[in-house]
Amino acid sequence: MDPLFIVGLVVAIALFFDFTNGFHDTANAMATPIATGALRPKVAVGIAALMNLAGAFLSTTVAKTISVDMINPGVNITAQMVFAGLTGAILWNLTTWFLGLPSSSSHALFGGLIGSTMAYFGAEGVNFVKMVEKVFIPALFAPVVAGLVAFTATKVAYIITSRSQAERKAKDISTGRQKFKVGQIFSSSLVALSHGTNDAQKTMGVITLVLVAGGVQTNGDHVQLWVVLSAAIAIALGTYAGGWRIIKTLGTGLSEIKPPQGFAAEVSTGITILASSKFGFALSTTQVASGSVIGVGLGRKGGVVRWGKAGQIFTGWLLTLPAAGLVGAGSAYLTMQGDWGLIVDCILTFAVAAAIFTISRRNKVSSTNLLSEVEGASEVVLSARQIQANAKSQKKAEAKAKQKGKKKGKK
């Protein structure tokens, strides 16, 4: 098969991957402002799409992590190899999405590409030192940093805006914390911007990698303008298209988040992703947002972690990379069989995508599947109000028992 044809195919599939990434992640930026009532859903989705578009133009450092750092110099990258890695990532991503397992598109992409490279060239093909530095460590480090930062920021916000009970009664004033809703318009835009910066660049990296493999470009140091443009447009369109799913956010675990917490979470997510993008760390934006949501939940008085839920999410995160790697390696073995293997792999990917799409449309109404991983993370922390509600019935029962005891004592 003409290598240029495969290059074209990879570009098309990579852009599709970019589109689904936007589709999947609209909620990361916009779920909290919609939940707190800071933005109307339609406006929020429009802003998110525009900000993703803008963010994609900010930098290409993360793209180069894929197109330059990932594979050892001297390895003769082929278009088939990139193709196998990408389809492996998509297959794993769609399956976890369908099963409702917490996963990460970014880690699926890296897993798939690493698996495929190893299948073709063995472990020597992958630059593991760079991968540890730019993918593995950031993957563990960034959500924790975002969580710590969000926790601190929430504490700061509540301390600064606190008013004593006496002051509130004497002057008949509020804390004014509802004003954080206005801030959320900016902070959620920041998250969308950072999402465009980090995630659209991964697509640019893959496209650049395949352009090098196909001989269209001599090395991966430079990302061509049309690549930046198309990746930006694909992620923006995906974000806009994914908006309808956001409306489900109301009344879920995220609705426990108050405006100051939402603001703190979004600023923390946005800044952490932007700072990481600066150094070419290709991290999972979803995991960073999840870390922040857990951090702000704990930052407010009385938040308690449900370790079981946290453990579930964390296991899902750890699983993504190796699992996608196996699928990527599987696709790689298929493509090694020659053209028919490549065609089978292609048909398989499209068939799974089509099947999952039709099934998910049919089940659209069911509320059992989570809107996003961030929503799942928001259920990790029990807020004080939730604990109170749970304990209320118990307290009532206790109070009744006490009253009975007192009455008996008087008699």
Residues lying near other proteins in the complex (CB under 8 A): 58-61, 129, 132-133, 137-138, 141-142, 145-146, 148-150, 152-153, 156-157, 160-161, 171, 173-177, 179-180, 183, 186, 190, 193, 197, 260, 263-264, 267-268, 271-272, 274-279, 281
> CB of 237: closest distance to other proteins in angstroms?
23
Judged by beta carbon, residue 171 or residue 361, the one nearer other proteins is: 171
Judged by beta carbon, residue 152 or residue 360, the one nearer other proteins is: 152
> CB of 291: closest distance to other proteins in angstroms?
11
Judged by beta carbon, residue 13 or residue 131, the one nearer other proteins is: 131
Q: How many CA atoms lie within 13 A of 15 on its CB side?
A: 16
> CB of 313: closest distance to other proteins in angstroms?
21
C-alpha distances in Å from residue 107, one per residue of 82, 127, 285, 309:
15, 16, 10, 21
Contact by Cβ (8 Å): 191, 288 = no
Judged by beta carbon, residue 97 or residue 136, the one nearer other proteins is: 136
| Residues forming beta bridges with residue 381, ordered by sequence position | 305
Judged by beta carbon, residue 275 or residue 359, the one nearer other proteins is: 275
Backbone conformation region of residue 368, classed left if phi is above 0, alpha if psi is from -120 to 50, else beta: alpha
> CB of 279: closest distance to other proteins in angstroms?
5
> CB of 175: closest distance to other proteins in angstroms?
7
Helix (H, G, I), strand (E, B) or coil at 358: helix
Judged by beta carbon, residue 174 or residue 363, the one nearer other proteins is: 174
Q: Which residues contact 181 (CB under 8 A, 6 or more apart)?
A: 33, 36, 37, 38, 259
Which tokens sit at 283? 């991290």
- Quote the CA–CA distance of 381 and 294 in Å, as a whole number: 6
Judged by beta carbon, residue 141 or residue 333, the one nearer other proteins is: 141
Among 219, 221, 153, residue whose Cα is nearest residue 187: 153
Contact by Cβ (8 Å): 242, 25 = yes
> CB of 301: closest distance to other proteins in angstroms?
16
Helix (H, G, I), strand (E, B) or coil at 304: strand
> CB of 174: closest distance to other proteins in angstroms?
7
Judged by beta carbon, residue 11 or residue 288, the one nearer other proteins is: 288
> CB of 275: closest distance to other proteins in angstroms?
5
Sign of dihedral through CA atoms 387, 381, 24, 91? negative
> CB of 215: closest distance to other proteins in angstroms?
27
C-alpha distances in Å from residue 285, one per residue of 132, 154, 156:
18, 20, 24
Buried-state track 315-341, b at ≥16 Cβ within 10 A, e below 16: ebbebbbebbbebbbbbbebbeeeeeb
Judged by beta carbon, residue 137 or residue 343, the one nearer other proteins is: 137
Contact by Cβ (8 Å): 297, 218 = no
Question: Which run of H or of E encompasses 382?
Answer: strand 381-382
Judged by beta carbon, residue 161 or residue 386, the one nearer other proteins is: 161
> CB of 18: closest distance to other proteins in angstroms?
20
* Site of tokens 């397992």: 101
